Amino acid sequence: MRFDWTIEEIETLFNLPFNDLMFQAQQCHRQYFDPNTVQRSTLLSIKTGGCPEDCKYCPQSSHYNTNVKSEVLMAKDAVVAAAQDAKARGATRFCIGAAWREPKGRAFEAVLAMVREIKLLDMEACATLGMLSQTQAQALKDAGLDYYNHNLDSAPEFYDGIISSRKYQDRLDTLKHVRNAAMNVCCGGIVGMGETRLHRAGLIAQLARMDPHPESVPINMLIRIEGTPLADVADFDLLEFVRTIAVSRITMPSSYVRLSAGRETMADEIQALCFLAGANSIFYGEKLLTANNQAEDADVRLFAKLGLQGEARTTPSSRRMTGELNA
């Protein structure tokens, strides 16, 4: 497995004939994963709106006039009930997200209590709460958190045009704190924000140079929200999205590559190509924080048509061992 990918090498992958790229991605995928199994996560917004950050894609930013209203932190019992429902519907990982720059005070203590309760359900627990100190990362680990999500969003060269309230290094520092606390990293980005293919290669290079690679790599397609600065950005080519999935799979072969935001608008055929390209994780349920997701019954029908099944709970270490044996 490599951790020294150059941007030029990754751009070369992007430029392969589509069939060759898909074949190479599928070969990598089968070395580490059952090709017909997809991990299902459910995402819940536990604190919606009012975020002080100015991310141009985000309807939860207090800088923009969207239909998202600022809400208080959800009660623990309501969060646990949502996790129980997600498990009953087939999710193996429950993710909680809060629209914060960073967690503070009693709110952070409340999140720790939520994580402890989710772990009692025998589910993987993931959180995205903004920037973390080393002390906060360790507290989440001690509470039982399995994964921490903190996306890079874009290549460093494109980042300043999307966000000014948080530096790229701030994101890298939070990821370092998560690793130091021995937690799994969930880290990916967003495509379709007006970036070039070279920028997409730069994003994947950042991720693929991490040693170890992020255990989960969510690839999000921009959801254009009225009131945000990116509401009128041009349509993104869906085959380019599939290419991004495939290149992520080739460069990070043992990571979960998650087909994330934007899936609601994708036809079955595009989603099937994404799975063929190496995507093996989805958000399952009709809401992604504040945006719509594919309806659950639509996912059930799609899985049946493609012969896919949900993944039983496993661990990154056991998957890597299996991959090494199968390679």
Tell me which residues are annotated as active site.
51, 55, 58, 95, 126, 186, 258
Say which amino acid occupies 46: I
What six digits make up the tokens of 18? 């589509």
Three-class secondary structure of residue 153 per DSSP: strand
What six digits make up the tokens of 316? 């990154």
**β-strand pairing of 291-292 with 287-288:** antiparallel
Give one DSSP letter per residue of 162-231, joined into a string.
T-SSS-HHHHHHHHHHHHHTTPEEE--EEE-SS--HHHHHHHHHHHHTSSSPPSEEEEEEP---TTSTTT
Q: Which of 71, 27, 81 is nearest to 326 (CA)?
A: 27
- CB distance 3 to 209 below 8 Å: yes
The CB density around residue 20, as the number of other CB atoms within 10 Å, is 10
Enumerate residues 6+ apart whose C-beta is below 8 A from 169.
none
Q: If 0-12 CB within 10 Å is exposed, 13-18 middle and 19+ buried, where does residue 240 land?
A: middle
Omega before 212 within 30 of 0, i.e. cis: yes
- Residue 82 CA to residue 145 CA, distance in Å, equals 17
Exposure of 190 in the CB half-sphere (CA atoms within 13 A)? 20
Query: What is the distance in angstroms between the CA of the first residue and the CA of the last residue of the chain?
Result: 11
Return the C-alpha torsion angle 241, 203, 283, 120, nearest 10. Answer: 160
Enclosing H/E stretch for 296: helix 296-306
